[in-house]
A and B are shown apart, each in its own frame.
Chain A
C-alpha cells in the first residue's frame, strides 16, 4: 500500500482532485488498475467505513470519500473494460410510486457508489413498471426500494409482484428501507432484506451478494 499512500490518504480526506492526480500518476508509473483498487482504494474506503461506524466521520466525510473514489474510477473503468476485467455489481435504487422523499435514498445511493458499486438511481415516485424495465435493461444484482409514507409502503409489494410477473424476481435480490418499514414487513412482502439505516444498507448489499454467490 505504501507506494499508493497518496491515493489512500486523498480518499480518506475526500479530496477528489488529489485522488484523480494520484491515480493518474500511479497509472503513468505503470500500476495496474486492479492493484490500485485492491491495495489502496478499497482499504481506504474500508477505513472510511470504520471511521463512520465509530462515529468519527459523518455522512459528509463518507460521501466526499465516495466522490473522490468515483473520480479515480472514472480513470480506471475504461482501462478495466478494455482489459475485460469484471466491474463491481450493479444496483438499481428508487423511491417507490407515490412517494417523493429522496434524501434517505440519495444517501444510500451515494454510500453504495462510494463503496464501489455501480448505482443506477431511478429517482422518486418510481412506478413498478420502471423498476421492471430497469432490471430488464440494466441487469442489476440488487434492487433497493425506499418509502417514507405508510400509504406508499404497499408499492414495495406491488413492485416485487411486478418483478415476479415479469419473470425477473429470481434474477435480483430486493432490499427495502424507510422510516415506516420494518424487517417484518420485508418478510411479509417477500423482500430479501431490510436495513434501518444507510450504512447498514451497504453491508446488506454485500451480504446479499455474498449469499447469492454462495448459493450459485
Chain B
C-alpha cells in the first residue's frame, strides 16, 4: 500500500439535521459519464443478477447473453422513461471473482451499453463494480495473503481496467468471529468483531483499493457495506431468531467499520445495502446509496420508506433476470426506482419540499421497529455525533452502541417504540454488556483470544 494521508473524522460534515436531506451532500461526486451524485437529484441504482443456472465454461456464453439482455432492457426502459441519470451496479458472483477475467468481461460489456446510451441519448451514467470478497474460503480466513486475496486483488484491478467507474466491496473482515458471536448473542464477541477486527481489515483493504483506483484515472473508490454483519443480524431478527434490538445496536456499531473506507479515501457512494450509510453521510459529507421498499425483490426490511429519506442513489439491491408480465425483472425494477426517484426529485424542486418529503418517509417507519428507530435523521445525527466524539474504532463502536441503546430506551420511555418483554430484557442485557466491556481494546483483544482465537488469523489483522 502506498503512503497516503488517512482522513480522521472528528467533526460532522453535516451539522444541521435539516440539511440532512436526500439528493444533496456537502461533497457531491462527479463520476462516470457526466453523472453528479449528491448534487441535487436522486438517481436510480439498478442491480441485477442471473436466474438459477450453472456457471461453467460451457454455460458462459449463456451468462454473457443474460447480461447483454439485462443491460439492453434496463437502458431501453430508462430511455422510455426519460431518466436523466443512472448507476448500474454489477455485483460479481463468486465464480466471476474467482476467475477475474470473467468479471472484467462483463464489466466491459456493461460499460459498452452505458457508453452507447450516453453517446446517443446523453444519459448521464456510472458503472459500479463490486467484486465478491472471497477471502473467507479458508478457516481461519487469510485476509492479506494467499490465493483468495490475490484473485480478489486481480479482480479489482481488471474490473477497474475494463471500465468500472466506482469500485466497491462488501468486505468480510471480522465476520468469522461476528457470525459466531451473533448466533450466541455474545456481545463482547460482536464488539470485538465490529470494533477491532473489521476496522483493521477495512483500513488495510481500502488502502489497497485506493491504490488500484489511483492507477486507473476516472475510477473512484466508492464505499463498503456491513451487509455480512448488520444485514445478517437484521434478517435473523426478522425471522425471530435474534432480538430486533440487538440487530439495531449492531447496525449502529457497524457504521464505525464502514467509515474506515472513507478514512482511507473512499468518496462514495457507499453501498446500497449499507443501511448505516446515513451516519457516514453525516460524518463525511460524501453521497450514499440506499435501498428500501423497491428492494423487496431481494429481501425483507422494515425500512422501506425511511431508507430513502437521506439517500443520494436509490437501489433495488438485486433482482434475478426472470420474466414478469411487463418484461424481465431488472427492467421492471428500473421502472419502480425511476418513479420513486422522480417523486423525490419533484418534491425537492419546491421550497421546503425535500425536508417535508424526508420527514414523511421517516415518520412512516420510524417507530415501527428498532431497526428503523436508529435510522431516522435524528438518530443518525446522534449516532454520528457519538462516533466522532470518540477516538479509536473500538471506543467509537462502544459510543455508537450506547447511542443506539439510548435512542431505543428513549423511544420506549416515550411510548413510541413498542417492545416485547423479551426484547426489553435484551435491551437491558446489551446495555449491561456495553458497560461491562474493558475500557481499552488491548484488554478485549486479550479476553477474546481464548474464546475466538481459533477462528481468526491474527496476522490478517495486524495483531
Contacts and interface: CB of A to CB of B under 8 A. Distances in A.
Interface string A64-76: 1001000000000
Contacts of A106: 179-180, 183
Contact of A59 (B136, B139, B236): B236
Interface in B241-282: 241-243
Interface stretch (B44-52, B157-165, B402-410): B44-52
B163 to A, nearest CB: 23
A150 B183 contact: no
A71 B363 CA distance: 48
Given A55-B240, A151-B54, A180-B52, A103 B183 contact: yes
Given A59-B236, A100-B136, A102-B179, A107 B51 contact: no
Interface in A169-189: 179-180, 185
Interface size band for A: 20 to 34
Interface string A90-115: 00000000111011001100100000
Given A149-B94, A151-B95, A58 B53 contact: no
Interface in A99-133: 99-100, 102-103, 106-107, 110, 123-125
B21 interface: no
Given A64-B184, A100-B136, A197 B239 contact: yes
A56 interface: yes
B219 interface: no
B137 interface: yes
Interface string B75-97: 00000000000000000011100
B260 to A, nearest CB: 22
B49 A150 contact: yes
A64 B186 CA distance: 10
Nearest to B49: A150
A98 B236 CA distance: 23
Contacts of A185: 52
Contacts of A45: none
A84 interface: no
Contact of B422 (A55, A123, A124, A151): A55
Nearest to A64: B184
A157 to B, nearest CB: 9
Contacts of A63: 183-184
A145 interface: no
B242 A60 contact: yes
B232 interface: yes
A60 B242 CA distance: 7
A103 B137 CA distance: 14
B240 A153 contact: no
B437 interface: no
A59 to B, nearest CB: 4
Contacts of B241: 58-59, 107, 197-198
Interface string B195-209: 000000000000000
Interface in B154-186: 179-180, 182-186
A203 interface: no
Contact of A150 (B232, B320, B420): B320
A102 to B, nearest CB: 7
A154 interface: yes
Interface in B129-151: 132, 134, 136-137, 139
Contacts of A55: 240, 420, 422
Contact of A149 (B93, B243, B426): B93
B184 A60 contact: yes
Contacts of A124: 136-137
Interface centre among A55, A59, A61 (most CB of B within 10 A): A59
B51 to A, nearest CB: 6
Given A100-B137, A107-B241, A58 B54 contact: no
B183 A59 contact: yes
A83 B422 CA distance: 43
Given A59-B236, A60-B242, A125-B137, A150 B51 contact: yes
Interface centre among B239, B241, B242, B243 (most CB of A within 10 A): B241
B343 interface: no
Interface centre among B50, B299, B422 (most CB of A within 10 A): B422
Nearest to A179: B299
B295 to A, nearest CB: 14
Given A103-B183, A185-B52, 16 more contacts: A56-B422, A59-B242, A60-B185, A60-B242, A61-B185, A98-B94, A100-B94, A102-B179, A125-B137, A149-B93, A149-B94, A151-B53, A151-B93, A154-B53, A180-B52, A197-B239
16 contacts: A58-B185, A58-B241, A58-B242, A58-B243, A59-B185, A59-B242, A60-B184, A98-B55, A98-B95, A103-B232, A106-B180, A149-B93, A151-B54, A151-B55, A154-B52, A155-B54
